[in-house]
Structure 1
Amino acid sequence: MSEPLVPVVTSGAAPPPAAVPSAAGARPLSAQRVIPLRHPGRWIATAVVLVLAAQVAHGLVTNPFYQWDRFQYWFVRPVIVDGLVITLEVTAFSAVLGLVGGIVLALARLSRSPVLRAVSWIYIWLFRSVPLIVVLLFLYNFSALYHTLSVGIPFGPAFVRFDETRLATDMVIAVIGLSLNEAAYAAEVVRAGILSVDQGQHEAAAALGLPKRYQFARIVFPQSLRAVIPSYVNQLIGLVKSTSLVFYVSLLDLFGSVQSMGSTYPGDIVPLLLVATIWYVILTSVVSVVQFYVERYYSRGALRTVPPTPLQKLRAALWDLRARIQRETAI
């Protein structure tokens, strides 16, 4: 009868995990608590920032100079709301027209025609160099230079004539001025987006024998939107604030209404300015939220995982806090 086999451990091999001796009085590794790395500098900086923020908030609330009761009175007054509606209308029209004009200028800048490239470059250079207030004031006094406008043959007879003063209302002047200025900046945004498309996409579309217009409309431009739209939505924030300049062409937008009421009620200048400030903060915050979701939408395919939304971040933080509490109670 053969003897049972006995496992033999050579001198170079490590003993089984169960046979590993532990230090006297030490707990097993599974029961030991991991101590996180301390960051005293971070905590000190956080405390300083919180103290400063609390002091600023306390000053805003308790300082009688801000007149928060008058702020509450003016915040949703009809004259303020009417000015806010005009601001939204001017912003919407200017954003659409500026984007359309920017696409046309970008295509002209990328054209093979030297005339189109030169005209587009001069337009972009000119309107990016001239301040917006100068453009608005020039358009406001445009009727002094040209009383009537006509459409016809250059240096020949005119087919249609119309009075410029009847067409150039305050709203039209504001929208045209902002659109002309916005198109110059949008053109560079669109051109950069088109150039960001990989050259292989152009070559593949050309190898398939597709017409140039079809290549641009169905292949190149949709891919460029990943870079164009987030950047242009960011441009809208500047456009919202630029609408405050239309007050100088006699259009009572949000800022114009505040200025008008401030002249009528000099004692309420500060709360009226706060009303305008808060409304502009709200508008730009809404645009910033739209920008985040647009960038998140167009980042699909470029990133492995899209950035989480604020709600998803909050949910993940709550789950992490719950798991940490459960670990603490278990130990």
Structure 2
Amino acid sequence: MKLQGSIQINEVGLRDGLQLEDRILSVEQKIKLVDALIDANVKTIEFGSFVHPKLVPQMKNSRELYELISEKHQDVDFIALIPNLKGVILAAEVGVQRVNTVLSASNTHNLQNVRKTKRQSLEEFLRIKEYCEEKEILLDCSIATTFGCPFEGDIHEEVIFSIIESVIQAGVNVITLADTTGMANPKQVYDLSKNVLEKWPNQPFNLHFHNTRGMGLANVLGGIQAGISSFDASLGGLGGCPFAPGATGNICTEDVVHMLEEMQLKTDISLDNLLEASKMLRSILDHELPGQILKSGKSSRLYPVPAI
């Protein structure tokens, strides 16, 4: 089993995790969660998105949130999701230095998600890239439905390669291959990840999984074995896409870190502090979270022997 020595975890709970919650968190509540994540030594956080509040009301305070957390935590990489050029303009107004835009490998999902065809989204990507260069903003790109679409089914590898080639030619920071509705399996993840790393060895890639069908952690392992060393995860296992049927929770940050620690893979994240952050999230939302380690405890936990 070939494994990397160090794995980067990108926390997406504040954006992808909260966007399906009925409860809309205040800026103060979000700041408490950011502080708790940073206490756990999480260094990359997708904090929110610059979208129309009617579409995703849970993200309507992203501007105010960034202004406060960026001033307080200058050594943390805060990322904003932006759906279009208007989004990155709004992000730039408050000084966001890194943004992530999404286009889908599936034309049907792309129309549902951003109301554009794939071709239109690639044209928009070029305009976003030009603006980001002007403002010195790092631009990431997530390719949604990479491992399958709930409307179209399987996505051919050549389609993924074509999109990757287009965004690399335009200029991109990190490319995320996203399993939007949890359709991926470990062999598929391994094969595609290995192929893209062979074709573009100098391009940073990241993987984004949902645990819809219980294969999230196995898919992480498939990516690691192929040579990927960067993964999105969501505190407590919250999240999903509001524009894709069946897109339930993301892989859980504390579950991923626990698995990696047990495999002697380094993340630099404090699992104990991460669990405290997850407890805080559970308290704020006032409901149980999908993650397993918060419920069952670490595998190193020992129990007293029952009396005979």
Range class of TM-score, shorter chain: under 0.3
- Structure (1 or 2) with the greater strand fraction: 2
User: TM-score, normalised on structure 1?
Assistant: 0.22
User: TM-score, normalised on structure 2?
Assistant: 0.23
- Structure (1 or 2) with the greater helix fraction: 1
